[in-house]
């Protein structure tokens, strides 16, 4: 036992010495290693406790030189963005546990604070650092450019800022166009015809919303596919039909309460009760519609006329509360009157893929710069196969 421990210790010390001298080939010291091993065999007198203590010191020294990964996310409060931080912390614990690199999560309540954090990271002048960032909004572009100028590798997650996207190690995002295409495909599968009225509840004014809008219309035009298939020729829409029959809410700020209020106002005009197809660009927005239908903010006659149309609602994101609706655990009085309801996947756990992309890059592996994670439609038929977030 003593022989093996000391031999291993000396080999570890030699490895550190080589690393300190540069990137020389390991084979160039093979004769020295053999000679040292023989000496260790002859002089093995160090006890087990001393060997283990020296081994611990060697590990600590190696960790001090390891690349540190800063992970910047939105606050860990609630909803999709809050769950990003939760999943990030889980992955960071895994990275730290493996011991090859170190990592930490910094949550940022707004863009100004996130910019300050990035600038502070750069100002420290640390070597061997990298950044994974979920930009709060597009104003963070200038700070990300500072990372680039400082030669600090970074991975962008979710909100991809086009002005700096080409400089990222990887741009990790869910398939925002796919979300739109998935919703359109679901509507078509339930009989939506070209030119029927569609109402879209948008999240914000970012590229995320733009892509979700774009995917919806591109699928209807027959320009893109979903789940490997394009829309049938006889179901295609014209650009004129899209322009005349799709209404956009404007930014709901990803807010359930804002959407609930907006939907109640919409239903206050009886001419809108015949709209059958509602594409909500987030599960929180879809829940806002359901809450409005369950609450007392809509006139009973308007609600009856609306539900009599067997309307269809789609969301996206993976909110377990909506998955619970799909599982038949809540809102059954409402869903029993709907023509359909579903959610397209866009899990906050994707932040773990972004962190892994940085780890792979640091390991010298090839990383896909435009890393798009495919989405799926989740309905009452397959919801048991998916795990939601709170």
> Is 96 within 8 Å of 60 (Cβ atoms)?
no
**Residue 380 DSSP code:** T
| Residue 109 structural domain | 68-173+349-373
CATH of the domain at 353: 3.40.50.2300
Q: Please tell me whether residues 43 and 86 are part of one structural domain.
A: no
**Closest to 91 measured CA to CA, from 79, 73, 64:** 73
Question: Domain count of the chain?
Answer: 3
Strand (E) or helix (H) holding 51: helix 48-64
Give residue 208's pLDDT: 87
Question: Which parts of the chain have pLDDT scores under 50?
Answer: 1-62
Burial of 251 (0-12, 13-18, 19+ CB in 10 A): middle
Strand (E) or helix (H) holding 245: helix 239-245
> Is 201 within 8 Å of 281 (Cβ atoms)?
yes
Q: Please tell me whether residues 153 and 249 are part of one structural domain.
A: no
Q: Report how far Cα 216 is from the mean position of its chain's Cα atoms.
A: 20
pLDDT (tens digit, 9 = 90+) per residue, 162-201?
Answer: 999 999 999 999 999 999 999 999 999 999 999 999 999 9
196: which 2 tokens? 């029927």
Give residue 276's pLDDT: 98
Q: Please tell me whether residues 74 and 169 are part of one structural domain.
A: yes
Tell how strand 312-316 and strand 102-107 pair up: unpaired
Q: Please tell me whether residues 187 and 231 are part of one structural domain.
A: yes
């Amino acid at each position: 036992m003593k022989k093996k421990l000391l031999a291993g210790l000396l080999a570890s010390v030699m490895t550190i010495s080589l690393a300190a001298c540069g990137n020389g080939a390991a084979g160039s010291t093979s004769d020295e290693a053999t000679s040292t091993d023989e000496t260790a065999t002859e002089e093995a007198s160090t006890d087990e406790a001393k060997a283990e203590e020296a081994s611990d010191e060697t590990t600590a020294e190696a960790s001090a030189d390891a690349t540190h990964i800063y992970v910047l996310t939105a606050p860990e409060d609630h909803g999709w963005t809050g769950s990003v931080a939760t999943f990030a912390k889980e992955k960071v614990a895994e990275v730290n546990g493996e011991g090859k690199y170190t990592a930490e999560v910094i949550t940022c309540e707004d863009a100004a604070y996130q910019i300050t954090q990035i600038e502070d990271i750069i100002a420290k002048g640390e070597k061997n650092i990298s950044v994974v960032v979920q930009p709060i909004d597009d104003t963070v572009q200038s700070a990300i450019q500072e990372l680039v100028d400082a030669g600090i590798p970074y991975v962008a997650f979710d909100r991809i800022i086009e002005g700096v996207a080409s400089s990222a190690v990887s741009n990790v995002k869910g398939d925002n166009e796919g979300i739109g295409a998935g919703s359109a495909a679901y509507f078509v599968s339930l009989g939506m015809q070209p030119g029927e009225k569609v109402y879209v509840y948008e999240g914000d004014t970012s590229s995320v919303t733009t892509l979700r809008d774009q995917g919806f219309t591109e699928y209807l035009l027959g320009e893109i596919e979903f789940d490997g298939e394009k829309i049938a020729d006889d179901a295609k829409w014209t650009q004129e039909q899209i322009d005349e029959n799709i209404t956009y809410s404007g930014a709901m700020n990803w807010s359930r309460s804002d959407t609930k209020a907006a939907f109640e106002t919409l239903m206050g005009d009886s001419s809108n009760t015949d709209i059958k197809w509602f594409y909500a660009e987030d599960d929180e927005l879809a829940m806002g519609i359901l809450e409005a239908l369950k609450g007392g903010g809509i006139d009973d006659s308007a609600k009856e006329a609306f539900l009599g149309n067997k309307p269809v609602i789609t969301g996206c994101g993976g909110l377990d509360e909506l998955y619970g609706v799909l599982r038949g655990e809540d809102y059954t009085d409402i869903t029993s009157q709907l023509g359909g309801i579903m959610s397209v996947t866009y899990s906050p756990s994707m932040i773990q893929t972004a962190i892994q992309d940085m780890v792979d890059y640091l390991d010298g592996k090839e990383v896909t710069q435009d890393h798009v994670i495919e989405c799926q439609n989740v309905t009452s038929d397959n919801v048991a196969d998916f795990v939601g977030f709170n």
